[in-house]
């Protein structure tokens, strides 16, 4: 064999060996190492967070903006409140306030979603859970709480100054709780700064990463104030020019506080009348008092918010039906007001902007009230999706 033929044979042999190395079946361990080992969640709490950001096509196409909803209803507990529950309980464990499997009991006053999240995390970590909620909330929330192993106490709606208010009852029960080894722990979601911190550390960074920093406005309602405060603080520290807007249901005083600096006349402040102040069918958002978490948005009298949009019950119902009919999104009442406000802000800012809001929970928790068409019709609200977005826009607040 001459030299040229030998060289050619050597090249072919080398190529064949390389091809064999490429084509030979690799072990599972090698594949996992090469691709980055597949993530396995550490129990149900490992599923919390990192929810997707979904483009709401119908609203985006109609406005020329990118209207994006963070699908928090995909958390294992079904809402954004999973983040608070996990963060608060883990911090209490770190500080020795909670020890698993000691009959310690977690107490909270909630309209439902935070309670469900707490019940889920409590069961996963070895705690008891007792939830106090207003009796006018959708019954399926209480049923879900019980299925998650919590005990549920429903009390008549009343002002926060009333000893019988659901938050005050939960606080008192936690203080009075006694067991052989465990203790009672009151979460206090409205005033606990860990609520703000949970969203500052997780929800905000996720939005920044998912939008690659290209976000012009954030829109969200306020129940405890933790989500809107945490996300607003995080984004405004990192995204020049980003705006933040409050979505507020009818009957709430927060929009007036943001837009005009005054929440209410002295005769209307919470506690001057012994009844539930916020008159809305939307559950989980809207207040006539400033919580410690929301107050973070008003440092030294200045507002970090760029405005507020008041949303009527009628508009919230219309938006929920619109999203189901045109986007296949089955959202709850608080997500519906967020989307109404996001649409309003998109029309105000004009085409070409990216607006992020939160789809806090799904309609599955609102079947007997907000998603009960007959009940909505009895209240005078149309349960039929508008024929077009232009028609919807003309109906806004009409």
Q: Say how far apart CA 318 and CA 41 lie, in whole Å.
A: 38
| Paired sense of beta strands 151-155 and 243-249, if any | unpaired
Residue 185's nearest CA partner among 89, 308, 121, 271 is 89
Concerning whether 81 is annotated as a catalytic residue, the answer is yes
- Beta strands 53-55 and 66-70 are antiparallel
Nearest to 124 by CA among 94, 150, 157: 150
Burial of 91 (0-12, 13-18, 19+ CB in 10 A): middle
CA-based end-to-end distance of the chain:
94
DSSP string, 240-278: TT-EEEEEEETT-SHHHHHHHS----GGGSTTSSSS---
27-54 in b/e burial notation, b at 16+ Cβ within 10 A? eeeeeeeeeeeeeeeeebbeebbebebe
Choose the catalytic residue: 70, 81, 141, 369: 81
Asked if 369 and 281 count as a contact pair (C-beta separation under 8 A), the reply is: yes
- The Cα–Cα gap between 221 and 208 comes to 19
Q: In whole angstroms, how far apart are CA 92 and each of 55, 88, 99, 196? A: 36, 6, 9, 16
**96: exposed, middle or buried (C-beta count within 10 Å: 0-12, 13-18, 19+)?**
exposed
Separation CA 136–CA 283 (nearest Å)? 10
Q: Which residues are catalytic?
A: 81
């Amino acid at each position: 064999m001459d030299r040229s033929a030998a060289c050619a044979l050597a090249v072919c042999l080398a190529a064949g060996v390389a091809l064999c190395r490429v084509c030979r079946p690799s072990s599972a361990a090698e594949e996992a190492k090469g691709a980055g080992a597949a993530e396995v969640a550490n129990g149900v709490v490992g599923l919390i967070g990192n929810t997707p950001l979904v483009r709401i096509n119908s609203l985006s196409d109609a406005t020329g903006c990118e209207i994006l909803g963070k699908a928090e209803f995909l958390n294992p507990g079904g809402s954004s409140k999973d983040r608070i529950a996990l963060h608060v309980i883990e911090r209490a464990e770190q500080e020795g306030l909670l020890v698993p499997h000691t009959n310690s009991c977690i107490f909270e006053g909630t309209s439902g979603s935070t309670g469900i999240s707490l019940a889920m995390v409590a069961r996963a970590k070895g705690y008891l859970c007792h939830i106090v909620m207003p009796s006018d909330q959708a019954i399926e929330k209480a049923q879900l709480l019980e299925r998650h192993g919590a005990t549920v106490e429903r009390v008549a709606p009343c002002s926060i100054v009333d000893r019988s208010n659901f938050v005050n009852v939960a606080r008192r029960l936690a203080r009075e709780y006694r067991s052989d080894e465990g203790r009672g722990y009151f979460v206090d979601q409205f005033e606990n700064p860990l609520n703000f911190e949970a969203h500052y550390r997780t929800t905000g960074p996720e939005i920044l990463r998912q939008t690659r920093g290209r976000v012009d406005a954030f829109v969200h309602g306020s129940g405890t104030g933790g989500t809107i405060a945490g996300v607003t603080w995080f984004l405004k520290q990192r995204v020049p020019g980003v705006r933040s807007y409050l979505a507020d249901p009818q009957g709430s005083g927060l929009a007036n506080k943001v837009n005009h600096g005054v929440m209410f006349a002295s005769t209307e402040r919470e506690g001057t009348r012994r009844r539930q102040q916020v008159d809305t069918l939307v559950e989980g958002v809207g207040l006539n008092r400033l919580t410690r978490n929301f107050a973070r948005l008003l440092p030294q009298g200045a507002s970090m918010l760029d405005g507020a949009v008041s949303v009527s019950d009628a508009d919230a119902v219309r938006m929920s039906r619109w999203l189901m009919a045109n986007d296949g999104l089955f959202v709850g009442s608080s997500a519906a007001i967020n989307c109404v406000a996001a649409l309003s802000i998109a029309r105000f800012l004009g085409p070409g902007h990216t607006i992020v809001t939160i789809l806090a929970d799904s309609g599955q928790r609102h079947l007997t009230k907000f998603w009960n068409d007959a009940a909505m019709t009895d209240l005078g609200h149309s349960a039929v999706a508008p024929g077009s977005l232009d028609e919807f826009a003309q109906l806004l607040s009409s």
